[in-house]
Each structure stands twice: as structure tokens, then as C-alpha cells.
Chain A
């Protein structure tokens, strides 16, 4: 995986250069955002279960997907769904700390759509759930941090669709 720092280092290194001004500017902005990122991660980690519960209640619980014949029917499937939601939240938090999406591609998105298709997990419902996760997370961490977290939830959705 890369983060906001190493992605700049890697692009500079292949050219044998130091970071240029625009790179240093981006780095300065990232360094300044440390407190916001750390504070958000702390509060997401303390409320992770609640966030997933809220997001599921908002998007999936009262739809046909939890009824007999739906892909979340049976406890086993329900449990698998909330486990994946836990993953999405945790990896989005990692990506937010890193200021870079690469960890999402490497650890979550590679092959996920194919896996879901083969398991019959509906993509559109998954995207709806991730969007709800984005909303409840923003409610918790506030507008600025919520917007930054939103970038990574949107990246998950884009990778699924």
C-alpha cells in the first residue's frame, strides 16, 4: 500500500528527483490534517459497531433482502453481511489515515465484485449500504472529517460498480 507520503516519494524516485513544489504543498496539507485524522479514527473505532448497526438499519434491514429468499436471509448470511460492513469501515478508516486509496484496492476491492457475483450478493444493495455507512460516519465525525471519509467510501462503491 501507499500513503500520502510514500505515493509522492515513489513518483519522485522513478524520475530520480526530490519532491517538487506541488508535492511539498500536498504534503504540508496532509501534515496539517493530522489531528483531524487521528481524532476521527479514534471516534470511529470507539463506535464501529454502532455505525454498522445504524447503516444496516438505514439501508437493508427493512427491505426484501432480509426476508426469506433475500440474500441476507438466514443468520449466517446476515452475519457475513455485517462482517463485510465492518471491513469496509475499518479499511476506509485506514485509507483516511493514510490519505490514499491504495489499501482499499489491494485489500478490499481486488476480486470483490466477482466474489459477490458468484455468491449472489446484490451489488446495488451493497452500494446502498456503503452509502449509508458514509452518512452515519459523517454524522459522527463532523462535516470536514466526514467529507474526507466520504472519499474512501465512494472509492469502495466505484470499485464495486
Chain B
């Protein structure tokens, strides 16, 4: 689901054409496309780097956690998930909506990590680190677009 789909489904639920105001929102959204593509590309190019520095920061703040226990499989899974969330945030940036995140990565997130016996508090801390490192690779005007989606993940965990 993107801003575009949302707007169309809204109009369709009332059997009408999109209103002028909605079309203006649509047009403004598409106009910001260049910035969205730039942000998504920077996140894609820096994903590995973000994950490495975020992990280091996370283990510093939260040393007793499965990914820091010396079990390479747990470390790899944790870092894989961090990378996935960076990718989902990049999707959200392109879609102008948190729906890709919801559909793929936050519905059931608490249940999943709980059943994996990973303390939610640790995941929250980890996501905060991923957020901080993602913001660090972006220009300030791009960083403010990205932060709310990470906050959304953090909220979904608490």
C-alpha cells in the first residue's frame, strides 16, 4: 500500500473520483519523487555499513543479548533483521506510507521476537541504534523523512 493506492481506495469506497484536494496531494507526492529515490538509494548503498556500526553501538549499550553471546548464527540473524528493517524503511520512503512496513514487518513483530525468546527491550534498543546510524548517513532534510518510520517500528515493539 502506498499513498497513491490509499487515495484511490478512499475515493472508490465512496464511488467517486478523487477530489481536487486529493489530486493535489497526489501531485505533490509524485513531485517529491526525486528525493525519495535518493534516500532509498543511499540506504541501499549503506545498508551493510549501517548494520555494522549499529550492531557495535547496540552491543555497547546492551552487551547481554543473544546476538552478542558468541553464537555466530544468532549474530547473523540479528544483523540480517537489521538489514531487513533498513530495506523496509526504504520501501516506505518510496511509497510515502508506513503500510509496507506494517504489511511485511510490524504486524506480529512482538509475537515473533517473544517466541524467539529475544527480549523486546533489546530489540527496541537495537532499532534505536539502526535508526541513529541510518540518520547519520543521510543529509538532514532526508533524515527527517526516515526517522518517523524507525519510530514506528520502535512503537510497534513497545
Q: Which residues of A contact B (CB under 8 A)?
A: 1-6, 8-9, 12-13, 16-19, 24, 27-28, 30-35, 37-38, 41-42, 44-45, 48, 90, 93-94, 97-98, 103, 107
Q: Which of A13, A30, A37, A94 contacts B104 (CB 8 A)?
A: A13
B7 / chain A contacts, CB cutoff of 8 Å: 97
Task: Looking at the assembled complex, report how far the CB atom of B74 sits from the nearest CB atom of chain A, in whole angstroms.
Answer: 19
Beyond A38-B24, A38-B27, A98-B4, 10 additional contacts (C-beta under 8 Å) are: A3-B2, A6-B2, A6-B5, A8-B94, A18-B44, A24-B41, A27-B33, A31-B33, A34-B31, A98-B8
State the CA gap A38–B29 with chains docked (Å): 11
Beta-carbon contact of A28 and B8 below 8 Å: no
B100 touches A9 (CB 8 A): yes
Count B interface residues, CB 8 Å.
37
Tell me whether B59 is interfacial, beta carbon within 8 Å: no
Chain A residues with CB under 8 A of B104 = 13
B30 interfacial contact with A, CB 8 Å: yes
**Which residues of B are found within 8 Å of A34, using beta-carbon distances?**
26-27, 29-31, 33
Q: Is the CB of A24 within 8 A of B37?
A: yes
Cross-chain contact of A28 among B31, B37, B44 (Cβ < 8 A): B37
Contact B23 A42 (CB under 8 A): yes
Contacts known (A94-B11, A107-B12); A3 close to B37, Cβ less than 8 A: no
Most-contacted residue by chain A among B7, B18, B30, B47 (CB, 10 A): B30
Judging by beta carbons under 8 Å apart, are B17 and A18 in contact?
no
Is B91 in contact with chain A by the CB < 8 A criterion? Answer: yes
Q: Which residue of chain B is the closest to A40 with respect to CB atoms?
A: B23
Task: Annotate B100-140 by CB proximity to A: 1 below 8 A, 0 otherwise.
Answer: 10001000000000000000000000000000000000000
Judged by a CB distance under 8 angstroms, whether B144 is at the interface is no
21 sampled A-B residue pairs with Cβ under 8 A? A1-B9, A3-B5, A5-B2, A6-B2, A6-B95, A9-B95, A12-B91, A18-B44, A24-B40, A31-B31, A31-B33, A32-B30, A34-B26, A34-B29, A38-B24, A41-B23, A44-B17, A45-B17, A94-B8, A97-B4, A97-B26
Sort A-B residue pairs by CB-CB distance and give the 3 closest, nearest first. A31-B33, A34-B30, A45-B17
Does B27 lie within 8 Å of A19, measured CB to CB? no
CB-CB under 8 A from A28, the residues of chain B are: 33-34, 37
Given contacts A16-B87, A18-B87, A44-B17, contact A6 B33 (CB under 8 A): no
Q: Is the CB of B1 within 8 A of A97?
A: no
